[in-house]
Every structure is written in structure tokens, then in C-alpha cells.
Chain A
Amino acid sequence: GAGVSQSPSNKVTEKGKDVELRCDPISGHTALYWYRQSLGQGLEFLIYFQGNSAPDKSGLPSDRFSAERTGGSVSTLTIQRTQQEDSAVYLCASSPSLPSSYNEQFFGPGTRLTVL
């Protein structure tokens, strides 16, 4: 079956521009996560969705970052007025969110964002 997909796979933008990153989770997965991975760093948690609501936005680095999820499916992560320090790989993951699953997460291939 189809896994988690993300688009675009690569995005190069100029400082100050806005960008939108898209994530299509596995069908039926109610939980969705966004992470950021910078070179040599671990996965940095950004935001968690359960259905369409985001009970935990604690990882968003600043108010330039926002995310939404619609129809309990597709999610978009928006970065406004991008800065060079936003350059990273942005990973999306989904999970069935069943108690027995212990939260195994299925990751997409990521979007590599480069801010010039």
C-alpha cells in the first residue's frame, strides 16, 4: 500500500519568502507529526495532530511556523518569511494511534528546504 508522501522533495527559496510543505499520511492514520532534521542533528519535534486538531504545537520554533490538517488527512506546514536557519529536511510521519501500536511512526521521504 501507499506510504507517507511529501511534496515537494526539494525546495529552494530566497530569504523572506513563504513556503508550504505538504504531507499525505497513510490512509486511516489519525496521528500526524512534523519533524525537522538539520545536518548532524537529531529529529526535532515540531507539531502533532490528532485528527484535525493539534494538541501539541510546542516544537514550532517561532510564530513564522504554522501547520494545519484538513479532513483528518493532508497536512501543510507553512513557514513565513523564511530565514537561512530554516534550511533543513522537514519530515512528516503518521501513526495509527492505536493503544496497541505503541506509536510506531511511518515516515515520509522528507522535503529538503534550502533558504538562500
Chain B
Amino acid sequence: SQKIEQNSEALNIQEGKTATLTCNYTNYSPAYLQWYRQDPGRGPVFLLLIRENEKEKRKERLKVTFDTTLKQSLFHITASQPADSATYLCALGGGGSNYKLTFGKGTLLTVNP
């Protein structure tokens, strides 16, 4: 069965450093991968999309990589700030279904001032 693992349940870093979150998957061939941010008591908010034929995508301080050979995506936040503290979810889509997203459990990022 499809499996998505976000390798850290929680990650603590110092303000100004780069946060790197990992998303690995098995038994899946996604057409695209998305990253969402979720704050406590709120629904997830879409951040970035990367397609299977793209290696890297950037948006402001965010960078996502997608390696379909390793079946892995890395999500980087550079020059991290305490306001970046949240849970980050990866979600896989496509791969036989043109509508369904399969979510990982998320990584709780805490950026310490």
C-alpha cells in the first residue's frame, strides 16, 4: 500500500538557520507533490507544488526538491524566523488519480529566537 513518511515528527532550529524537512514515499508514482503549512486550530494552507519532471522549485525563502528516483522531497526554509513555526505537511497527487491527495503526518517545526 502507499506509504508517506515525513521523517521527523518535530524539528527545532535556531532563528536564521535553514530548516530542512524530508518527505519519503513508497509504492507510489506521484505526478506531483505539494507542501502545506498548518497552524494550530487551522486548516492546512498550500505553499508549493512541484511536478514530477521538475527537480527544484523556489518561492521567496522556500525551496522544494523532488527526486523521483530516491522517492523523496526536501523542503527548505532559509533564514528561518519564529513565525515559520508550524506543522508542515507533504501531499502526493496524480499517479492514477487526478484528484486525490495523500498526506503525510507532518513535521512540527519550531524556530527558536
Query: Chain A: residues with CB nearer than 8 A to chain B?
Result: 4, 31, 35, 40-43, 45, 48, 50, 56, 91, 93, 95, 97, 102-110
Task: Give the complex CA separation of A58 and B99 in angstroms.
Answer: 13
Chain A nearest Cβ from B49, distance in angstroms: 5
Pick from A43, A48, A103: contact of B103, CB under 8 Å: A43
Let me know if B100 is at the binding interface, CB within 8 A.
yes
Contacts of A93 in B (CB 8 A): 43
Main secondary structure of the interface of B (DSSP, over half): strand
Interface pair A103/B41, CB less than 8 Å apart? no
Interface 1/0 per residue, B83-113 and A, CB below 8 Å: 0000001000110001111111110000000
Interface pair A110/B99, CB less than 8 Å apart? no
Interface pair B49/A42, CB less than 8 Å apart? no
Instruction: Name the 3 nearest CB pairs between A and B, nearest first.
Output: A107-B43, A42-B105, A43-B103
Query: Chain B: residues with CB nearer than 8 A to chain A?
Result: 4, 31-32, 34, 41-46, 49, 51, 89, 93-94, 98-106
Pick from A41, A45, A91, A103: contact of B98, CB under 8 Å: A103
Task: Give the complex CA separation of A71 and B102 in angstroms.
Answer: 27
Chain A nearest Cβ from B71, distance in angstroms: 17
Q: A31-B99, A103-B98 are in contact. Are A42 and B46 (CB under 8 A)?
A: no
